[in-house]
Amino acid sequence: MIEWQNGWLQQCDDFSSFPTKLEQLSQVVKFTNPLAGNKLRLVLSNLYGTTDLVFDCILVSKQADFQVSKRQTLRYQEQIRIPQGQKVYLDPCQLTLTPGETFYVWMQANQMQSYADYVVTYAPKLINGTYARRAAYLPKLRSDYQKRKAWFCLEQFLVWTKEEAQVVEITGDSLAEMGMVAEPLFEKLLAAPQAYSFANTAISGSRLLKGAPENPPLFRTYGQSLLQREAGKNFQADITLISIGENDLLLPALAGEDIPSLAQLQAGFRQLQGPNVWFTTLPKVEKQAGITAIQMTKIEKLRQELNTWLLTQPNVIDGAALLLDPKTQAPKVEYSFGDGLHINLLGGQVLAQAWYQAFTH
């Protein structure tokens, strides 16, 4: 049966505590399409802004220079308004799409606006984005893996297709949101004979049990806890891969809160378990600024206890062990992003391979 199916969802984060105010906006987003179809539909979000948002022109093209493009509309209007607190589904666009094909979206706004629906990746090969402060300027996409790539409001595209695709979702915290695991994993799935579509619903700073602390404002961008987000989720993934728990250990020390107990963490993980839900053990982190040596010792002990328990549970890969140097029991330098906390693309490839083997066999 031919129907609208998710192609890619890169969910917006809530930056209402840290909005970006621009006199004009020009942004370009690159997507890699996983499905065969002949129509495309874009989904724009303004859930977290305080006013309506207006885009004066939205173009879709298979060329990065937009020499040939298609103007997007909403209810046949070229100027597109996203009401405050809502998402909008643009009108269907006739566009022949093949799996693995790249297309680009150029969005322009000529008026002063504040943007709070924020999308981010670091890994740029399959999905990428950037923005500039002049509406008529076409910004160039970066191809490095070190800098954040960000854009606003555009979080999903749908494909009119007869393929029976499984939705693979990666969620949790920054290990998932940065794309270092998602990119190599989704590349493998693009090459698989089975049709898959993709969703990245992770939030940097997210915790399993508690929502974001109130202060400072940056902490508020960490959003609801994963348990809260899963309870309010409005789409169903066929396979869900979760990286979570690290911030439950680290963030309380920075926010003046109590670190959760092992029993509380276990109960949280149990609530998320399911036959098609996969976890990873928590990678070891190096000392973080603002956390004392005594606190780090307590955190490391709890991390090890939690990992020992996780390995007794179904559908868990031992990502922590895969990222450690077996001789020194320290995180492998070649897998480090350089901040003592996150992994780079090489580390992401290791976790992606482990997850891929786990849920495809």
Using one digit for the tens of pLDDT, what is the confidence trace for 130-161?
Answer: 999 999 999 999 999 999 999 999 999 999 99
pLDDT bucket at 215, cuts 50 / 70 / 90: confident
Mean pLDDT score, 287-313: 94
Q: Which pLDDT score is estimated for 193?
A: 81
Q: Which pLDDT score is estimated for 289?
A: 85
Please give the backbone phi and psi of residue 146, each rounded to the nearest 5 degrees, phi first.
-100, -30
Q: Which pLDDT score is estimated for 126?
A: 99
Q: Which pLDDT score is estimated for 132?
A: 99
Q: Which pLDDT score is estimated for 278?
A: 99
Q: Is the pLDDT confidence value at 185 over 90?
A: yes
pLDDT bucket at 330, cuts 50 / 70 / 90: confident
Q: Is the pLDDT confidence value at 315 over 90?
A: yes
Mean pLDDT score, 119-136: 98
* Mean pLDDT (the chain, rounded): 96
191 neighbors 360 (Cβ within 8 angstroms):
no
- Strand order across the beta sheet in which 13-14 lies: 13-14, 117-121, 149-152
Entry pTM: 0.97
44 neighbors 115 (Cβ within 8 angstroms):
no
DSSP of 24-73: SEEEEEEEEE-S-EEEEEEEEEESS-SS-EEESEEEEESSTT-SS-EE--
Q: Which pLDDT score is estimated for 1?
A: 86
Count of C-beta atoms within a 10 Å radius of residue 300: 14
Mean pLDDT score, 51-67: 99
Q: Is the pLDDT confidence value at 225 over 90?
A: yes
The CATH number of 166-360, from 3.40.50.1110, 3.10.20.740, 3.90.1150.10, 3.40.50.880, is 3.40.50.1110
**Which of 147, 155, 80, 79 is CA-nearest to residue 117?**
155
